[in-house]
Structure 1
């Protein structure tokens, strides 16, 4: 990500992609795609029968019974969110920070986007009292808030919202008549699934929630774009479902035929895939914990990562040292850390956070980078943090953070 000019400080076209897993493609799913390479026919808009039935099975195993007429597939979650935003109309509410791709689609449609502070416990969902105050203020100013986008397993903060916090937020949203889109891209990447309770808003408010899942979260490589959406049953979701299909049709937003077959295979969750997902989650949990320890050990602030392949770090306590390097805001920090770490370090402003705040999202996949053989070794190793290329990357990260801590201590005013 190159430095942007002052007027375009962090424009959309430099927005960060979803965190990569840094691993080779699973051979079994690569074989499915390869076998489908000769498929000439197009996948229907919204997804074919086999793909939608696989999606229904996926949600059913997670306590969300679904019929094919409630489901839609698209070439990535952004296309689905664009369709939903257009179909619902009105102003959009999102937590601060939020996934980098949420707000641009509303702005593309000319819809105002309002960021709402998150609770102390987690990111991904607005604080219920802050949500009520924001809705009141927007309406007092003549706005029309209709849609709240949230995420229980969050990008960028890598936290999982506790059910009681989520329940309060959902209740507040329902009381204000808001429709909810729940981005559940990262729900299958929870680091400690037996110790972490993850509840979908669709379980709490079934008639006012659409669930969106981008398969790049856990099931497919990011370069194979596919996502699925689950609408409320019966009359509550029928009209919205139809309007979203209209948008996808107008955009020609279809899942590529070979990718659709790979997505159907992935959503059916055969044993090779579930084993790979489990191993990858365990690997990234360990790497994220090591990266988190390096950051907080140097004095930075970060909630312990609970899901995904990333962590969100606040380097505000090290501002004095960073200032000596010319770092004054999140864009400066992005440029500085990307150069020092040798990996993408998108600033918090990419996620709707304050430009002045010194926050970044760091991805664990970049710490696994190496040859194909080295990356494959990561997934099967009982001690991945001791592999030479991973160990070098973590040592380098720790040294960068430690240097910043030392710089900050040197520049702090004596007491």
Structure 2
């Protein structure tokens, strides 16, 4: 093809790329890094990473398989699928390896599931940022439904039924509802009654349930069961999980999905494998080997997860106490490593002293004035005017692996000097929010 002559006008493309915003959880991480480069003392409470080192045994297994290449089965290796089936069977969900599909992370699996299912999806409000975003990316409509008070992650069953009826009346084809047990962003767990009622609504209205249970091994009370929808509606529930939360293997990109047994599950598997074959072919072989070891749950990894659960419980509890002391309304976290405080009781003071009207106003103030990185509840589907935010304290465990391992081993991690210092800094910031700061007045260091 001949080169364009210099005298010819440059013709721009007659379209623009589709606008897709950077995921809020990743964007806040970059904002915190920017404040650090500016020399600001920061409190990194925005990014949902587990904050503990990778266990050496998991690293060993990955290293042992580092030389493996080639494309394996799209669904995943037999060893991985067998280990994942055992993992769910031990949790009261009898599972055959044929019901497992592996992928390069639970995020791609969710996207592939939404693509295979088609139609619109109901998501909880609030809920993890990627559920609604991925529904939009596959051309579906994310239908937001509020959760019961104190029970994050699962749409209110009564409101769900109403939303589905209304959406279908205006011509929408609603096919799925996405739930999270335990929940991100609130760190709470829906009750068995709520989950049973949700399953009844799903049956009545012909909905598939996608249950993201990536935090189920991080319940602060290890004796508390998770009421998975797969227990009450096994014929219509897909369960997903990964290694990034319980084993802090963020970035290793390996997730698994447990599909329903029966004719629908087999048809969904065929469709999902077709989508996966065009998206990622197969998950990386070395990671599949390490994941098979992890899902077999050897004692050394079980102990590691137990210690991480205790650490998450201790620090999220301490952070929740600091927010409560500052006048926020806080539901006590029950799992994972998140706190979801509500500053509605301080709305008048925040508006008068700082011009705060929305959650984004509040989190922008915290970042720009104080170097505190958190995410507004509006990023998770909450109303913009609701003064709620997601706080992820797991980055306070330490600046290096030596500190993080010390936090993991400590019976009282909130008392470790670096963590206690961060908690006191948080208290200072929250106390300062209640005071009027005039222009030019120094911000507490």
- Normalising to structure 2: TM-score of the pair? 0.86
Q: How does 1:3-402 map to 2 (within 5 A)?
A: 12-16=21-25, 19-194=48-223, 196-252=224-280, 254-323=282-351, 324-339=353-368, 342-402=371-431
Corresponding residue of 1:5: none
Per-residue deviation, 1:407: 5.0
The structure-2 alpha-carbon separation of the partners of 1:27 and 1:235, relative to structure 1 and needing over 3 Å to count, comes to: same
Do 1:340 and 1:400's aligned partners in 2 also have CA atoms closer than 8 Å? no
Aligned equivalents of 2:306 and 2:372: distance in 1? 25
Do 2:240 and 2:256's aligned partners in 1 also have CA atoms closer than 8 Å? yes
The structure-2 alpha-carbon separation of the partners of 1:142 and 1:183, relative to structure 1 and needing over 3 Å to count, comes to: same
The structure-2 alpha-carbon separation of the partners of 1:59 and 1:403, relative to structure 1 and needing over 3 Å to count, comes to: same
Aligned equivalents of 1:133 and 1:290: distance in 2? 39
Per-residue deviation, 1:42: 3.4
Aligned equivalents of 1:140 and 1:407: distance in 2? 50
Q: Secondary structure of the equivalent of 2:404?
A: helix
Aligned equivalents of 2:256 and 2:358: distance in 1? 36
Per-residue deviation, 1:371: 2.7
Aligned length: 398
The structure-2 alpha-carbon separation of the partners of 1:11 and 1:334, relative to structure 1 and needing over 3 Å to count, comes to: farther
Unaligned 5+ runs, structure 1: 1-9, 409-415
**Match 1:403 to one of 415, 427, 432:** 432
The structure-2 alpha-carbon separation of the partners of 1:299 and 1:102, relative to structure 1 and needing over 3 Å to count, comes to: same
Greater Rg by CA: 2
Per-residue deviation, 1:340: 5.5
Q: Deviations over 1:237-261 (max 9, x none)?
A: 0000110111111112532222111
Per-residue deviation, 1:287: 0.4
Per-residue deviation, 1:269: 0.7
Do 1:163 and 1:197's aligned partners in 2 also have CA atoms closer than 8 Å? no
Per-residue deviation, 1:33: 1.4
Aligned equivalents of 1:383 and 1:23: distance in 2? 16
**Higher mean displacement: 182-191 or 328-337:** 328-337
Aligned equivalents of 2:262 and 2:426: distance in 1? 51
Do 1:43 and 1:260's aligned partners in 2 also have CA atoms closer than 8 Å? no
Per-residue deviation, 1:153: 0.6
Q: Secondary structure of the equivalent of 2:428?
A: helix
Per-residue deviation, 1:143: 1.4
Do 2:52 and 2:248's aligned partners in 1 also have CA atoms closer than 8 Å? no
Do 1:79 and 1:253's aligned partners in 2 also have CA atoms closer than 8 Å? no
The structure-2 alpha-carbon separation of the partners of 1:281 and 1:12, relative to structure 1 and needing over 3 Å to count, comes to: farther
The structure-2 alpha-carbon separation of the partners of 1:199 and 1:179, relative to structure 1 and needing over 3 Å to count, comes to: same
Aligned equivalents of 2:213 and 2:424: distance in 1? 33
Q: CA RMSD in A?
A: 1.8
Aligned equivalents of 2:127 and 2:148: distance in 1? 13
**Higher mean displacement: 16-25 or 67-76:** 16-25
Aligned equivalents of 1:235 and 1:396: distance in 2? 56
Aligned equivalents of 1:257 and 1:332: distance in 2? 45
Aligned equivalents of 2:72 and 2:397: distance in 1? 35
Q: Secondary structure of the equivalent of 2:403?
A: helix
Per-residue deviation, 1:406: 4.4
